[in-house]
Amino acid sequence: MTGETTAPLSAPGPLVDPFGRRVTYLRVSVTDRCDFRCVYCMSEDMTFLPKRDLLTLEELDRICSAFVENGVRKLRITGGEPLVRRDIMSLFRSLSRHLETGALDELTLTTNGSQLARHAAELAACGVRRVNVSLDTLDADKFRRLTRWGDLSKVMGGIEAARRAGLKVKINAVALKDVNEDEIETLLTWAHGQGMDLTLIEVMPLGEIEGQRIDQYLPLSLVRARLAQRFTLTPTDERTGGPARYVRVAETGGRLGFITPMTHNFCESCNRVRLTCTGQLFMCLGQEDAADLRHPVRASKSDDLLRQTIAEAIARKPKGHDFVIDRRHSRPAVGRHMSTTGG
């Protein structure tokens, strides 16, 4: 630790945390609501936030723009399921101005794909160039069991619509013990056969669910070792701005990513912070500390207080998370669900 802190911003400038890491990536949850109830993400009987607690789309734009002015180069819109929020495309249209000026390198989103067919063409028109689609199985019956409410055919239709619109699609799959671990090779060959990257993700201890996450947890170190028995995996320095570490698969020619918060955390290079739909800024996914950005947005039409609050928050960004999954830690590391913080 350097012992330095970030001074309150009097003018736009880079956001640097106490460990010298520059924050260039903001993940923005626009809603905690979702049209799925994935078993590793939330309970089936969820109580969602009242709409009055949510930031307006105009407030979300204002906060995102303040981050862009202070050096954030990538915005990812998340949820819940972001595309279920009413009038969400107006936010994409507004934020696209930062792409046009060159202040922003990338505007993108993570989606479950259920609403993608309706919005793919307009997303592309707003300057979105790639999207992440969460998809854990290609088996329709298993997909419905995993998502509880999901329809695999709609997701597949959304992926095809996105590709027709010129969007590059990356598939995200959570590796789940005794659920889809026998399908990972199939997901890999299917995704690469369609020209899509695949990223595998370890399940994370966020929020209460039915059952225990230790029963779902599949270490990606084990998955990688299994894949290496069939495929030639060559490490690469390629990055997409997030925590994934990539290999190239010689037999498919495609790229495979691993996000490993449990077996090998990626905190040393963390460049990200997360904004919830209620205006809470989390400097670390795995810690409870947050800064309230809704108050400064609503307290003044000037962005001075907002920018000062952001700077003070970045000065508290911790070195890393404390995720643990084992039989001795039956409760989640943090109480909030992933859909609350932003997927």
Residue 60 belongs to domain with CATH number: 3.20.20.70
Question: pLDDT band at residue 212, thresholds of 50, 70 and 90?
Answer: low
**Nearest C-alpha neighbor of 219 from the set 169, 259, 161:** 259
Mean pLDDT of 157-171: 98
SS3 of 289-310:
CEEECHHHHHHCCCCHHHHHHH
Q: Is residue 8 part of a domain?
A: no
Each residue's pLDDT tens digit, 239-285? 877 788 999 999 999 999 999 876 555 677 789 999 999 999 999 87
Q: Are 74 and 104 in contact (CB under 8 A)?
A: yes
pLDDT for the residue 2: 46
Residue 211, pLDDT above cutoff 60:
no
**Nearest C-alpha neighbor of 293 from the set 283, 273, 278:** 278
Q: Which residues contact 127 (CB under 8 A, 6 or more apart)?
A: 96, 99, 100, 107
β-strands 233-235, 245-249: how paired? antiparallel
Q: Are 188 and 170 in contact (CB under 8 A)?
A: no
The Cα angle at residue 181 between residues 175 and 186, in degrees rounded to 5: 100
| CA atoms of 200 and 253, how far apart (whole Å) | 17
Q: Is residue 314 part of a domain?
A: yes
Of 74 and 207, the structure prediction assigns the larger pLDDT to 74
Does residue 80 have a cis peptide bond before it, meaning omega lies within 30 degrees of 0?
A: yes
Q: Is residue 325 part of a domain?
A: yes
Residue 187, pLDDT above cutoff 70:
yes
Each residue's pLDDT tens digit, 90-148? 999 999 999 999 999 999 999 999 999 999 999 999 999 999 999 999 999 999 999 99
pTM of the model as a whole: 0.86
Domain region containing 162: 25-341
In the chain, how many domains are there?
1
Which residues are documented as binding site for [4Fe-4S] cluster? 34, 38, 41, 267, 270, 284
Q: Is residue 96 part of a domain?
A: yes
Percent above pLDDT 70 for the chain: 85
Q: Are 130 and 108 in contact (CB under 8 A)?
A: yes
Among 13-27, 192-206, 213-227, which range has the highest average pLDDT?
13-27
The neighbouring-strand residues paired with 245 are 258
Q: Is residue 13 part of a domain?
A: no
Q: Is residue 17 part of a domain?
A: no
| CA atoms of 283 and 289, how far apart (whole Å) | 7
Which residues are documented as binding site for GTP? 27, 76, 110, 170, 272-274
Q: Is residue 68 part of a domain?
A: yes
pLDDT for the residue 340: 54
Which residues are documented as binding site for S-adenosyl-L-methionine? 40, 80, 134, 204
SS3 227: helix
Percent above pLDDT 90 for the chain: 69
Q: Are 40 and 175 in contact (CB under 8 A)?
A: no
Q: Is residue 173 part of a domain?
A: yes
Which residues are documented as binding site? 27, 34, 38, 40-41, 76, 80, 110, 134, 170, 204, 267, 270, 272-274, 284
